[in-house]
Amino acid sequence: MSRLSPTNAVPTPARVGLIGFGCVGQGLYNILQQHPEAGFTVTRIAVKNPTKLRPLPANRFEFHADDLLDDPELDLLVEVIDDADEAFRLVGAALRRGRRVATANKAMVARHLPELLELQRDFGGTLLYEAAVCGSIPVIRTIDSYFAQEPLRSVSGIFNGSSNYVLTRMREDGSDYTEALAEAQAQGFAETDPTLDMAAFDPRSKAVILAAHVCGLLLNPDDVLNLGIEHVSSADIRYAAARGQKIKVVATVQLLPGGGATVYVTPQLVPADSPLYAVEREYNGVLVEGEFAGQHFWQGRGAGGHPTGSAVLADLVALRQGSRYTYAKLDASAAVATPADLGLEVYIRNASADLLAALDLAPTSATAHDSAAEYTSGYTRLSQLHQFRDVLRAAGAFVVRTGRVRPVTQPETASLEAVFETE
C-alpha cells in the first residue's frame, strides 16, 4: 500500500478577475481574504457604477468588464452581476476566448444553456455554475458527476430562500407578507426585483438548469409553470397548519414512468413527515430519488453572500483542476426531448367560477372554508395551470398543490397514484 507524502509546496495563487461586487461578489472576496490558503487572488474587479460606495478603496475597482476578458494575466473569471443579458454577453465573449468562467447567474444560464454549451464545445472554454442553484448546496456537481449514470426519478425541493424566509416569518411570528419580504431584502437574500423570488421565476430558472443534468431536458424557462406566493395570506398559512402541514414553494423535475419528464414550480402543502417540512428561513432543501441510490435529502443555505460565495469558490477550485460538467444525461440516448403533461391536485382560493371552469377542475372534495377564505380543490392539468397562469396571478388567486399527481392520459388507479405520489 502506498502512502501519501505530505508536501509543503505552496502553489502559486490563481489570479481571478471578478466581474460584479454585489452580495455574492463581496461574499466571495471576503472568503478569499479570510482564506488565503485556498490559493486564489482577486487581481482585478470590474463594476458598473463608478459612484456607488463600496467597502474597498476606490482604486480596487475598474469599470470596463470587457477589459478583463482579454487579460492573459487572469487565470479564471467570475461573473456575478445582476443583469442577465449583460451577463450573457460577457460570459459568451469570455467563452469565445476559450476562458474558464464561474457564474452565479441562474436566469442567464437557464435562458441560454444551449448556446453556452455550444460555445464551450466550439471554443474549448469552461463554464461552471454551482452558485446558480441552491446556494451552498453542491447540487449541480453531485447530480452531474456522482449521479451521472444513476437513473434519476425525480429531483424536487425548496430552491428559493427569500420566499421560504417570508413563509417562515408569516407562520412563526404572524408577520405580515410585506414586512417579511422587506426583511428578506434587507438580509440580501432577495433579487433586486423581488417579484423574481415571490412569483417563483427564480426557482424556475434553477429547476430548468437542473433538468439538463437530471434528465437531459433543455427547456425554455417560459415553457415551465411557475406559481408563487405573491397572493399568500395568513388564512392560507392557518389553513395548512390546521391540517398539520406547511406551505412551501416546491420546484419539481419529475421523470414519468411511461417515459418523458416534466418541470414545474408551485406552492405545495408539505406534510410533517417530509424532510422539506423542517426547511425554514433562507435554507433550501433538495430531495433526490434515484432508481438504485434511493432517496437523498440535502439541506443548506440557499441565499446570502458567504453561502453563495462558497459555491463560487468550489467552482474556482474545480476550474483550476480542469474539471467540467459531464452532461451525461444530455448525451445519453435517453435524453428527454419534450416535457410531458400531468394531472395535479390543487387547492385554489380566490378564483372566480369562470376561472375554475376554465381550469376544468375535477373536484376531489367539497369546497372547504376557513373563517376568512374559501378553497376549491380538485385535479387540473399542468398545461392548463400554465395556460391560465397570468390570469390566476392577475385575479389574485392563490394556488397550492397537495403533492398528489396523476397521468393525464389514463384513469386514476390506486397503484398508479402510488407510483406518482411525489411527496
CA dist., res. 415 & res. 423, Å (int):
16
Instruction: With beta carbons less than 8 A apart as the criterion, state whether 298 and 159 touch.
Output: no
Of 19, 113, 143, 190, the one binding ligand HSE (CB under 6 A) is: 190
Q: Which residue is nearest to ligand HSE (CB)?
A: 162
Instruction: With beta carbons less than 8 A apart as the criterion, state whether 31 and 18 touch.
Output: no
**Counting contacts by CB under 6 A, is residue 307 touching ligand HSE?**
no
- Closer by beta carbon to ligand HSE, 313 or else 359: 313
CA-nearest of 332, 358, 347, 343 to 262 is: 343
Q: Read out DSSP for 124-151?
A: --EEE-GGGSSTTS-HHHIIIIITTTS-
**Counting contacts by CB under 6 A, is residue 162 touching ligand HSE?**
yes
With CB under 6 A as the contact rule, which of the stretches 63-71, 186-194, 290-298, 325-333 interacts with ligand HSE?
A: 186-194
Q: Least distance to ligand HSE from the beta carbon of 418, Å?
A: 33
What radius of gyration, in Å, describes the C-alpha atoms of the chain?
22
Grid coordinates given for 170: 408569516
- Which residues are within 8 A (CB) of 325 and not within 5 positions of it... i.e. 6 or more apart? 128, 140, 141, 144, 145, 213
Q: Is 246 a catalytic residue?
A: no
**Counting contacts by CB under 6 A, is residue 103 touching ligand HSE?**
no
Q: Per-residue contact track with ligand HSE, 120 to 139, x per CB under 6 A?
A: ---------------x----
Give all strands (DSSP E) within 22-141, no chain letters: 40-46, 61-62, 76-79, 100-103, 126-128
**Counting contacts by CB under 6 A, is residue 161 touching ligand HSE?**
yes
Of 160, 266, 274, 299, the one binding ligand HSE (CB under 6 A) is: 160
CA dist., res. 347 & res. 268, Å (int):
9
**Counting contacts by CB under 6 A, is residue 205 touching ligand HSE?**
no
**Counting contacts by CB under 6 A, is residue 310 touching ligand HSE?**
no
Q: Least distance to ligand HSE from the beta carbon of 159, Å?
A: 7
**Counting contacts by CB under 6 A, is residue 189 touching ligand HSE?**
yes
Q: Least distance to ligand HSE from the beta carbon of 113, Å?
A: 17
With CB under 6 A as the contact rule, which of the stretches 28-36, 62-70, 158-166, 319-327 interacts with ligand HSE?
A: 158-166
Q: Least distance to ligand HSE from the beta carbon of 199, Å?
A: 12
Catalytic position from the list 106, 206, 246, 329: 206
In three-state form (DSSP H/G/I as H, E/B as E, the rest C), the secondary structure along 227-263 is CCCCCCCHHHHHHHHHCCEEEEEEEEEEECCCCCEEE
CA dist., res. 309 & res. 5, Å (int):
31
Of 197, 280, 345, 423, the one binding ligand HSE (CB under 6 A) is: 197
Q: Least distance to ligand HSE from the beta carbon of 168, Å?
A: 12
DSSP symbol at 159: -
Instruction: Provide the binding-site residues for ligand HSE, judged by CB under 6 A.
Output: 135, 160-162, 189-191, 197, 202, 302-303
Residues catalogued as catalytic: 206
